[in-house]
Amino acid sequence: MNLSVPSQNVFHGLGALTNRELKKWYKDPFALFMSIIQPVLWIGLFGKAMNIGGLFPGASAMMQQVFGTTDYFSFMAVGMFSFVVVFTTMFSGMSFVWDRRLGFLNKVLSTPVSRTTIIVSKMCAAVIRATSQALVVLLIALALGLRFGPGFHPINLLGVLAVLFLMAGGLSSLFITIAIRTTRWETHMAVMNLLNLPLIFASNALFPIQAMPGWLQVIARANPVSYATEASRQLLLYPADAHKILTDFIFLGVFALVFITAGIVLSWRYLTR
């Protein structure tokens, strides 16, 4: 018996799988609302209620030195982008574990869709979702009083978009790579919780690195979240230092590349068990 098999594009099915993932989010108003409300609450509570600037009236020189701006709200709102990206991409690993548990993954594995496409669709969905949520947070922060720095130019927004893309791509790949062999979501959840706190708090997302104890500074300086946040602040709040921005982008680029590659290579090895 001889059958001719239609030749297929390596990435066929990518759009459909990505869209499946995104539909769960954009077709469910409650999920959409919940995914936005959390960072907004954080901005409101941390940025407005804990008005650090207000604690030291007249100490704007010190604020400037520690935070790079006198406006803690803006400092912290930009940090929230990273927060949003970390927590959104975390779900890409989670949804992978669920797909395995519910049998959907096995079903897809028995179709001609390539292993790479399965992984990449998760990454794409996470990147699109994380980036758009971060942009919504930016809009809300603007409405609540975020002020751009003196060196800001609208073109810088494209830079921020690129930062978000790289950070989301790298982080989602990291989380998916961790999830690739996991069958129990409890295990995955535990690992995620272990990772999330240092990713957020051992970074400059909420608090400047210089003010941290030495050992924490070491971690924070290796943390991709720090570079992403630093780059976004440079682009939006600070008088954009080209050299710093370049360093941040190189670090983020390498981070994203390494983990995206790792995810894809592991998918060849481990998806068919």
Partner 1 sequence: MPEEIIRAEGLSRYFGKAVLAVDNVSFGVFQGEIFGFLGPNGAGKTTTINMLTTVLKPTTGSARICGFNVLKQAREVRSCISVVPQEYTADEDLTGYENIMLCASLYSIPKNVAKQRADELLHLLALESASGRRVETYSGGMRRRLELASGLINRPHVLFLDEPTLGLDMQTRAAVWGYIRLLKEQYGMTLFMTTHYLEEADSLCDRVGIIDRGKLIKLGSPAELRAALGGDVMEIEIEDKGTDISEMLSELPKVQVVGKDGNKYRLKLTDGEEVAVEVIGSIHNHGHKVLRMSLTKPTLGDAYLELTGREMRDEQEGADQSWKRRLTMRRARG
Tokens of 270: 């481990």
Binding mask 113-142 toward partner 1 (x if CB under 8 A, else -) reads xx----------------------------
Is 193 near partner 1 (CB under 8 A)? no
Is 269 near partner 1 (CB under 8 A)? no
Within 24-43, which residues bind partner 1 (CB under 8 A)? Answer: 24, 27-28
The whole-angstrom separation of Cα 186 and Cα 172 is 18
Closest CB to partner 1 among 10 and 61? 10
The whole-angstrom separation of Cα 225 and Cα 219 is 11
Number of chain positions touching partner 1 (CB under 8 A): 34
Is 189 near partner 1 (CB under 8 A)? no
Among 112, 197, 211, 261, interactor with partner 1 by CB under 8 A = 112
Judge whether 108 and 118 are in contact, CB under 8 Å. yes
Is 270 near partner 1 (CB under 8 A)? no
Within 197-256, which residues bind partner 1 (CB under 8 A)? Answer: none
Please, what is the minimum distance in Å from the beta carbon of residue 112 to partner 1? 5
| Candidate ranges 23-31, 134-142, 154-162, 219-227; the one touching partner 1 (CB under 8 A) | 23-31
Among 65, 111, 193, 261, interactor with partner 1 by CB under 8 A = 111
Please, what is the minimum distance in Å from the beta carbon of residue 7 to partner 1? 10
Among 26, 56, 101, 268, interactor with partner 1 by CB under 8 A = 101
Is 187 near partner 1 (CB under 8 A)? no
The whole-angstrom separation of Cα 235 and Cα 132 is 18
What is the three-state SS of the chain?
A: CCCCCCCCCCCCCHHHHHHHHHHHHHCCHHHHHHHHHHHHHHHHHHHHHCCHHHHCCCCHHHHHHHHCCCCHHHHHHHHHHHHHHHHHHHHHHHHHHHHHHCCHHHHHHCCCCCHHHHHHHHHHHHHHHHHHHHHHHHHHHHHHCCCCCCCCCCCHHHHHHHHHHHHHHHHHHHHHHHHCCCCCHHHHHHHHHHHHHHHHHCCCCCCCHHHCCHHHHHHHHHCHHHHHHHHHHHHHCCCCCHHHHHHHHHHHHHHHHHHHHHHHHHHHHHCCC
Closest CB to partner 1 among 44 and 112? 112
Is 51 near partner 1 (CB under 8 A)? no
Among 22, 36, 66, 109, interactor with partner 1 by CB under 8 A = 109
Which residues of this chain interact with partner 1, rule CB under 8 A? 1-3, 5-6, 8-9, 12-13, 15-17, 20, 23-24, 27-28, 101-104, 106-114, 183-184, 272-273
